[in-house]
Amino acid sequence: MPGTCEATTRAMSGAAVIELRGEVDGAAARVLADAYEHAVTADGVATTVVLDFTAVDYINSTGIALIVSVLAKARAERRKVVACGLSAHYREIFDITRLSDYIELFPDLDRAVSQLTGPAA
């Protein structure tokens, strides 16, 4: 069922976090674009955007294209994008599409944020 994507944004230890819920498909375009703008505007100094897919239960190929658009926009603004909470299936999809060459993947949000803000970051 299209149109069921929702997003919540927050700042967390210097990263702009976008928590996605529901289905990432063509109908998610506006939600994703708005969430990105909201996240980076709310924390103007954030150099990293974390896409949290923990509560996402469906991504189709149009959704993957939307994620690439976010990646392109973030890179143009010199921000890094990482992702977390992907199931094994969608990690494989990120591998096939070679998005994982550019988006670092973390098992969950805590590990993403601690890695990004820890001493080694």
Partner 1 sequence: MTDTPGPDEAAPAEQIGLGAPEAAAPASAHPRNARSWAHKVDRLQPDLREGVRGTNVAGRRLAGPVQGFGKMWQKTYRMNAGPGIAPAEAISIWRKHFSEFWPAGNRFSTPITNITPGDVALLDLRIGGGVKLSTGVFVLYADAESFTLMTPQGHLFAGWITFSAARDGEDTIVQAQALFRAGDPLYELAMPIMHRREDQFWLATLTALGERLGAADPEVEISRTCVDSRRQWRYARNIWHNSAIRSLLQAAADRRKRGNKSGTGQGGTGKDDKS
Q: Does 48 bind partner 1 (CB under 8 A)?
A: no
Q: State which of residues 4, 97, 114, 115 lies at the interface with partner 1 (CB under 8 A).
A: 97
Q: Does 35 bind partner 1 (CB under 8 A)?
A: yes
Q: Does 76 bind partner 1 (CB under 8 A)?
A: yes
* H helices, E strands: number in the chain: 4, 5
| Minimum distance of partner 1 from residue 121's CB (angstroms) | 16
Number of residues that bind partner 1 (CB under 8 A): 52
Of 37 and 120, CB closest to partner 1: 37
Q: Which amino acid belongs to residue 21?
A: R
10 Å CB burial of residue 63 (0-12, 13-18, 19+) is buried
| Minimum distance of partner 1 from residue 119's CB (angstroms) | 19
Q: Does 57 bind partner 1 (CB under 8 A)?
A: yes
Residues 6+ apart with CB under 8 A from 75: 81
Of 31 and 116, CB closest to partner 1: 31
What beta strand segments (E) does the chain contain?
6-12, 15-24, 48-59, 80-84, 104-106
Q: State which of residues 51, 82, 90, 105 lies at the interface with partner 1 (CB under 8 A).
A: 90
User: In 3D, which of 21, 47, 45 has the Cα closest to residue 32?
Assistant: 21
